[in-house]
A = this chain, B = another copy of it.
Amino acid sequence: VVGVSEAGYDLKMLPKVSSGEAVEIYTGAPLPSGADSVVMAEFCKRDGDRVWVSRPVACMQNISLRGEDFKAGELVVARGVKLKPWHIGALASLGITNILVYRRPKVLIASTGLELKQLGSEDNQGKIYDSTRPMLKALLKSINCTVLDLGILPDEPAYIAEAISKHLDSADLAVITGGTSLGLRDVTPEALNMLEESKLVFHGVRMRPGKPTGAYVAKGKLIFMLSGFPVASFIAFKVFIEPTIHAMMGSKPDPQPTVRAYITRRLAKPTGVKAYVRVRIYRSQDGFYAEPLRLTGSGILSTLTRGNGILTLDEEVEGVDEGEEVEVLLTQAFE
């Protein structure tokens, strides 16, 4: 035994190991030049300056090679990958302290609707609290967006157009909720039409809920119009806004948890319309069951808080029979 190598020792200070020689070495320590394998301490017996080895050892055994994890010049994290803890670890292992990332998208958000009052308001004139905007803000933040909140705008096309126009330059995308149906007081399309360089992209989708979803482009920025009803705007967010934001960032969404479950009762739907049914998944002895919550009621938030899954039924599907197996997107933990 001609020396010792401990973690953090300088390789240049270590003895050269020749045939018939060994050094005492610890986990993480550099391998002295000339040595070509490591034997575990359990299989060695020290006897003064000699060591008895009780097991055969293969060449290069118990040695970690330089570059065995990442080789010089190798791509470690590709553009568009969402950084996960193990990417942080991989970058740290290579001594990389700074990398270029895309900045968070800035999203302008506003509500319209005479029936709305701001959370915290003491107004008792038959108004309802604006719940869609706080929910959308939380959804946007959950996919790493920065939110510029314009609050509740009055139902005046010129006022809405001016408010959006004033802030559109400092945002990457805008979302307006309410006023997008076909009623007399639904002024959002009219307002967006008044914007400079404005162009309708689409308005009205064969989906349920979320039928009045639409979008304009103005000054190169997409402006989504969502239903004021919270469940409809949640579905439209998942179907339109989330994929748009991922496309803008060049990133892929995280994988979505799904479960296969038996439907507890027959569901009928019109063909030609894509349906997003809120369901409650529960575990039973013979597998998972999906109980459909009410199909209608795009304002009924309790279908999301009591439910834990979304079942998508395609345009051509007429319905699902009781006991049929379906695949459900899980939105939260279940019993």
Contact A127 B89 (CB under 8 A): no
Contact B89 A135 (CB under 8 A): yes
A224 at the A/B interface (Cβ < 8 Å)?
no
- In the complex, what residues of B have CB within 8 A of residue A115's CB? 7-8, 27-29
Write the A129-156 contact mask toward B (1 if CB under 8 angstroms, else 0).
Answer: 1111011111100100000000000000
Q: Which of B82, B135, B302, B332 contacts A254 (CB 8 A)?
A: B332
The count of residues in chain A whose C-beta lies closer than 8 Å to any C-beta of chain B is: 81
Q: Which of B7, B135, B228 contacts A185 (CB 8 A)?
A: B7
- State how many copies of this chain the complex holds: 2
- Interface residues in A58-101 (C-beta closer than 8 Å to B): 64, 68-70, 76-77, 81-82, 84-90, 92-95, 97
Give A20 Cβ to nearest chain B Cβ, in Å: 24
Contact A126 B8 (CB under 8 A): yes
Give chain A's interface secondary structure class.
loop
| Shortest Cβ distance from A24 into B: residue | B184
Q: Which of B92, B134, B230, B300 contacts A68 (CB 8 A)?
A: B300
- In the complex, what residues of B have CB within 8 A of residue A297's CB? 68
Q: Which of A168-176, A191-199, A203-211, A255-263 contacts B (4 or more CB under 8 A)?
A: A255-263
Contact B301 A69 (CB under 8 A): yes
Give A27 Cβ to nearest chain B Cβ, in Å: 5
Other A-B pairs beyond A84-B138, A86-B230, 14, CB < 8 Å: A6-B185, A7-B113, A7-B114, A28-B115, A86-B331, A90-B301, A92-B119, A92-B135, A93-B128, A97-B120, A255-B257, A255-B259, A255-B333, A257-B257
Interface set of A (CB-CB < 8 Å, partner B): 6-11, 26-30, 41, 64, 68-70, 76-77, 81-82, 84-90, 92-95, 97, 113-116, 119-120, 125-132, 134-139, 142, 181, 183-186, 228, 230, 234, 252-259, 297, 299-302, 304-305, 330-334
Q: List 25 A-B contacts (CB under 8 A).
A: A6-B185, A8-B127, A11-B126, A26-B184, A26-B185, A27-B183, A27-B186, A68-B297, A68-B300, A82-B333, A84-B331, A87-B305, A88-B135, A89-B138, A89-B230, A89-B234, A92-B119, A92-B129, A93-B230, A93-B301, A252-B333, A254-B332, A254-B333, A255-B259, A256-B257
